[in-house]
Structure 1
Amino acid sequence: MTALARAELTLLGRSRATLVTAVAVPLLLPLSVRSAIDGMDLADAGLTVGTVILPAAIGFSLLFAVYAALTSAYVVRREELVLKRLRTGELRDREILVAAALPASAIGLVQCVLMAAGGTVLLDLGAPPAPHLAVVGVLLGLVLCGALAAVTATFTRTAESAQVTSLPLLFVSMLGSGVAIPLELLPDRLAAVCELLPLTPVITLVRGAWTGELPASEALGAVAVALVWTAVAVFAVQRWFRWEPRR
Structure 2
Amino acid sequence: MTTTRMLAMGRAELLLLSRNKMALYVALLLPAFMAWAMRNGISKIDPEDAGMSVNEIALTGAFGYILLFVVYQNLVSSLVARREELVLKRLRTGEASDVEILAGTALPSVAVALAQCVVLLVAGIAWLDLRAVTRPDLLLAGLVLGLAMSIALAAVTTVIAKTVESAQLVTTPLMVVSLMGSGLVVPVEIFPDTVAEVCRLLPLTPVVELMRGGWLGGMDAGEALRSLATALAWTALAVFAVRRWFRWEPRR
TM bucket by the smaller chain? over 0.9
Displacement over 6 Å in runs of 4+: none
Amino acid at match of 1:220: L
CA distance in 1, matches of 2:125, 2:141: 18
For residues 172-196 of structure 1, give each alpha carbon's deviation from its aligned partner in whole angstroms, at most 9, with x where no partner exists.
1111000011001101000000000
Structure 1 residue aligned with 2:151: 146
Contact 2:86–2:250 under 8 Å retained in 1: yes
Q: CA deviation at 1:216?
A: 0.8
Structure 2 residue aligned with 1:130: 135
Contact 2:152–2:235 under 8 Å retained in 1: yes
Equivalent of residue 121 in structure 1, options 126, 150, 166? 126
Contact 2:152–2:242 under 8 Å retained in 1: yes
**Alignment of 1:60 onto 2:65:** yes
5+ long unaligned stretches in structure 1 = none
Structure 1 residue aligned with 2:195: 190
Amino acid at match of 2:204: L
Equivalent of residue 36 in structure 2, options 31, 36, 42? 31
Equivalent of residue 44 in structure 1, options 43, 49, 54? 49
Structure 2 residue aligned with 1:80: 85
Distance verdict in 2 for CA 1:70–1:117, change over 3 Å:
same
Counterpart secondary structure, 1:33: helix
CA distance in 2, matches of 1:82, 1:45: 47
Q: Matches of residues 4-19 of structure 1 in structure 2 within 5 Å?
A: 4-19=9-24
TM-score, normalization by structure 2: 0.95
Structure 1 residue aligned with 2:241: 236
CA distance in 2, matches of 1:196, 1:217: 15
Q: CA deviation at 1:112?
A: 1.0
Counterpart secondary structure, 2:24: helix
Number of aligned positions between the proteins: 247
Q: CA deviation at 1:41?
A: 1.2
CA distance in 1, matches of 2:251, 2:45: 45
CA distance in 2, matches of 1:212, 1:26: 23
Contact 1:131–1:210 under 8 Å retained in 2: yes
Percent same amino acid among aligned pairs? Answer: 52
TM-score, normalization by structure 1: 0.97
Amino acid at match of 1:192: E
Structure 2 residue aligned with 1:226: 231
